[in-house]
């Protein structure tokens, strides 16, 4: 299993390097990466929640002590229900909009371009800004997601964003001098 996973990661890296060497726009690579992430995360969440082999209560956990023997099956069922509920939420909130945008991209629709000033930028747990950033613009106030970017979006700077309209995923961005603060 570990060999298969390593080969899959190697294939994806080579695929993205090949796309960039062929001169494809950067937003195509990010669209592919986000769609793979959304699909694999959804499958992984449901797999973990529905597989009878998944251990919801670990061997060293508090609920694995003898006084919880009678209620352990109910606790495990409750945890499974929460994991599956999160999977449903993730599927409808992330995977379905990204999938819808990809279907429209394959159908010939282009992503939209927005020129705006970044009003707010939130970063996930542990400061992993290169994995995910949430950006809000001064106009509109909707939040947009940026995955897998080594470049940090600065608050107050003007940018031109390439965005998927339904999922509000930022595919590419660069600084723009068009807007004043």
pLDDT digits (tens, 9 = 90+) for 98-144: 999 989 988 888 899 988 888 888 877 677 767 778 888 877 777 88
Range 156-162 average pLDDT: 87
Instruction: Specify whether 85 is located in the same domain as 134.
Output: no
Give the tokens for residue 49.
Answer: 């929640």
Instruction: Specify whether 40 is located in the same domain as 94.
Output: yes
The reply to whether 128 falls in a domain is: yes
The reply to whether 180 falls in a domain is: no
Asked if pLDDT for residue 53 goes beyond 60, the answer is yes
| Number of domains, the chain | 2
Asked if pLDDT for residue 179 goes beyond 50, the answer is no
The reply to whether 181 falls in a domain is: no
Range 31-40 average pLDDT: 84
| pLDDT confidence of residue 181 | 41
Contacts of 105 (CB under 8 A, 6+ apart): 31, 111, 164
| pLDDT confidence of residue 92 | 93
Instruction: Specify whether 88 is located in the same domain as 160.
Output: no
Contacts of 79 (CB under 8 A, 6+ apart): 56, 57
Q: Which of 88, 106, 124 is the last residue of a domain?
A: 106
Instruction: Specify whether 81 is located in the same domain as 141.
Output: no
| pLDDT confidence of residue 46 | 94
Decide: residue 178, CB within 10 A, 0-12 exposed, 13-18 middle, 19+ buried: exposed
Instruction: Specify whether 83 is located in the same domain as 164.
Output: no
* Cα atoms found within 13 Å of the Cα of residue 138, Cβ hemisphere only: 13
Instruction: Specify whether 76 is located in the same domain as 143.
Output: no
Range 39-48 average pLDDT: 90
Q: Which of 56, 74, 106 is the last residue of a domain?
A: 106
Q: Which of 82, 106, 130 is the last residue of a domain?
A: 106
User: What does the angle CA 119 – CA 122 – CA 125 come to, to the nearest 5 degrees?
Assistant: 175
| pLDDT confidence of residue 180 | 45
Q: What's the chain's average pLDDT? A: 82
Give the tokens for residue 11.
Answer: 């294939």
The β-bridge relationship of strands 169-175 and 143-147 is: parallel
- List b or e across 40-66, with b for residues whose CB sees 16 or more CB atoms inside 10 angstroms: eebeebbebbeeeeeebeeeeeeeeee
User: pLDDT band for position 90 (50/70/90)?
Assistant: very high
Q: What is the pTM of this model?
A: 0.75
Residue numbers of the domain that contains 162: 112-175
Instruction: Specify whether 41 is located in the same domain as 61.
Output: yes
Q: Which of 16-25, 54-63, 81-90, 149-158 has the lowest mean pLDDT?
A: 16-25
């Amino acid at each position: 299993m570990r060999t298969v996973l390593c080969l899959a990661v190697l294939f994806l890296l080579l695929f993205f390097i090949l796309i960039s060497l062929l001169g494809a726009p950067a937003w195509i690579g990010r669209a592919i990466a986000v769609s793979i992430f959304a699909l694999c995360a959804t499958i992984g969440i449901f797999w973990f929640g529905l597989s009878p082999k998944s251990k919801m209560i670990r061997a060293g956990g508090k609920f694995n002590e003898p006084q919880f023997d009678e209620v352990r099956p109910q606790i495990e069922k409750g945890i499974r229900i929460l994991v599956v509920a999160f999977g449903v939420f993730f599927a409808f909130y992330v995977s379905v909009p990204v999938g819808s945008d990809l279907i429209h991209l394959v159908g010939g629709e282009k992503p939209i371009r927005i020129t705006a000033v970044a009003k707010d930028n939130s970063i996930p747990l542990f400061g992993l800004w290169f994995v995910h950033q949430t950006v809000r613009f001064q106009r509109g106030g909707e939040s947009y997601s940026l995955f897998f970017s080594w470049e940090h979006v600065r608050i107050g700077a003007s940018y031109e964003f390439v965005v998927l309209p339904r999922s509000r995923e930022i595919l590419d961005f660069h600084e723009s001098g068009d807007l004043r603060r």
